[in-house]
Amino acid sequence: MNKLGLVIQREYITRVRKKSFIILTLLMPVLMVTLSLVPLWLSTLNDGSEKNIAVIDNTGIYAPLFKSTEAYQFQVIGEPQQQDPESRLGKDLYAILQITEDLNKDPRAVSLTSQKQAPQELQSMIVRTLNEKVTQQKLDDLSSSGNVDNEAIVQVRSIVEEGARVSLRTLRLDSDGGVSESSTELATIIGMLFTILIYMFILMYGNMVMQAVLEEKKSRIVEVMVSSVKPVNLLIGKVVGIGLVGVTQLVIWGILMGFFFSALSFFIASPGQMDMAAMPAGMGNFDMEGIMNRVMSVNWPEIGFYFILFFIGGYILYASIFAMFASAVDSEEDTGQFMTPVTLIIVFAFLAGFYSVNNPDGPLAFWASLIPFSSPIVMMVRIPFGIPLWEKLLSVVLLYGTFILISILAAKIYRVGILMYGKKPSIKEMIKWVRYK
């Protein structure tokens, strides 16, 4: 086996065999699933407990309209009991809804009192109910005034009842003229997912490369190594070996997630197997088929292809930078001066990606996805939304051009840096190293 192969093999094997790697790789998907399911579960818990709401209606018009639901129990309280309902708040009463006047005359004569902030859901339910009634009242007034044709009133009533029922269908016109149904939500989710993956990967594995370079320097094995391996091979071996560790982790996560989601969709597709009552509201009539159709309509091969391209480019670019700076210093404590700006750039790219979701064709998204230091992270947000081919190609060319330049530079600095001990070099000195033979 050649030396580069040996170096790659060692970097790979020693890491993949580590207990911490195995544990993290297996636990991470469990953790992610748990983290996403727990809030869902907590919200179902909340729905389970019934909340009592006292309705004090001086007019007597509105109280009967409030129908109790699973979550909220409305109790109409008459005059005699009116003495002191406030003292019951927080005990058997969750909130008090008080209507003092005819809302048709004074729309502000209604209040909701509770100890905790009343949930949005409850507020909008009350407002909707009252609005409907007041609209009816106004229409009643109108018809009783006799100035308007009764027929017209009836029609207006039915229009109001039915509502507008607008539903927006978003379509996307491809460059080849075909029209496909698109889903902004889905594109957002996919874009964010890949962006977070690349971001995490660059930070985690870039740091791992840095640690590896520092470890060799600190343990003083590096001079032993360079007497039989060319420094550039040592660097390439390290970057490739550790990159492969990351790929292994991603593949394992992908398989585990695949298993999990096929299990989940199996459960959802066969309701009998799952207690639907335990599902949060809205999930019971989950449009699984529709979602599946949309998921299938996404151009996965294209996204996958670009993901791999940007993933490789971004990882090598940043791994080279991390290795370059790590080779120049003696210990972790000295890395801050060089690493902080690099980390800031990565975090900036991540934030730019985050905001680009809202406006995938805006100037921020456009430029950040062309500049090589942020493009691997930002571009993945934009690709699911569909962008012109030339932008993708330009971005890839710029990224790969930059990473080739940077890795040549990194190799030159690394070669000198790993054998230098003592004083922390300045950027100026590091530039001088580039010219050493």
Partner 1 sequence: MYLETSNVVKQYANHLALNNVSIQVPRATVFGLLGPNGAGKTTLIRIITRITAPDSGEVMIDGRPSKAEDVYKIGYLPEERGLYKKMKVGEQAMYLAQLRGLSKKDAHRELMIWFKRFDIMDWYNRKVEELSKGMQQKVQFISTVIHNPDLLIFDEPFSGFDPVNADIVKREMLRLKDEGKTIILSTHNMESVEELCDNIALIHKSEVVLQGKVFDIRKDHRPDIFRFRLMGNEFDMEHPSFTLLSKEPYHEFIDLRIQKESDISSNELVRLILDRYEVVSYDEELPTMNDVFIRTVTR
Residues in contact with partner 1 by CB under 8 A are 1, 3, 6-7, 10, 14, 215-216, 218-221, 223-229, 419, 421, 429, 432, 436-437
User: In angstroms, how far apart are the furthest CA atoms of the chain?
Assistant: 104
| C-alpha separations of 143 from 32, 103, 161 in Å | 59, 18, 17
Strands (E), 146-280: 171-173, 179-181
SS3 category, 332: helix
Token code pair at residue 169: 């269908």
CB nearer partner 1, residue 15 or residue 392: 15
In the complex, the smallest distance separating the C-beta of residue 329 from partner 1, rounded to whole angstroms, is: 15
In the complex, the smallest distance separating the C-beta of residue 331 from partner 1, rounded to whole angstroms, is: 14
In the complex, the smallest distance separating the C-beta of residue 90 from partner 1, rounded to whole angstroms, is: 58
Contact partners, residue 24, CB within 8 Å, separation at least 6: 249
In the complex, the smallest distance separating the C-beta of residue 422 from partner 1, rounded to whole angstroms, is: 11
Token code pair at residue 227: 């007497």
CB nearer partner 1, residue 234 or residue 406: 234
In the complex, the smallest distance separating the C-beta of residue 3 from partner 1, rounded to whole angstroms, is: 6
CB nearer partner 1, residue 105 or residue 432: 432
SS3 category, 171: strand
In the complex, the smallest distance separating the C-beta of residue 18 from partner 1, rounded to whole angstroms, is: 8
CB nearer partner 1, residue 229 or residue 309: 229
CB nearer partner 1, residue 234 or residue 368: 234
SS3 category, 194: helix
In the complex, the smallest distance separating the C-beta of residue 432 from partner 1, rounded to whole angstroms, is: 5
CB nearer partner 1, residue 3 or residue 133: 3
**Residue positions counted in the chain:** 437
Residues 97 and 127: their CA atoms lie apart, in Å, by 11
For the residues of 65-111, what is the DSSP string, one character each? G----SSEEEEE--SGGGG-GGGGBTTTBSEEEEE-S-TTT-TT-EE
Contact partners, residue 259, CB within 8 Å, separation at least 6: none
Contact partners, residue 184, CB within 8 Å, separation at least 6: 170, 385
CB nearer partner 1, residue 30 or residue 431: 431
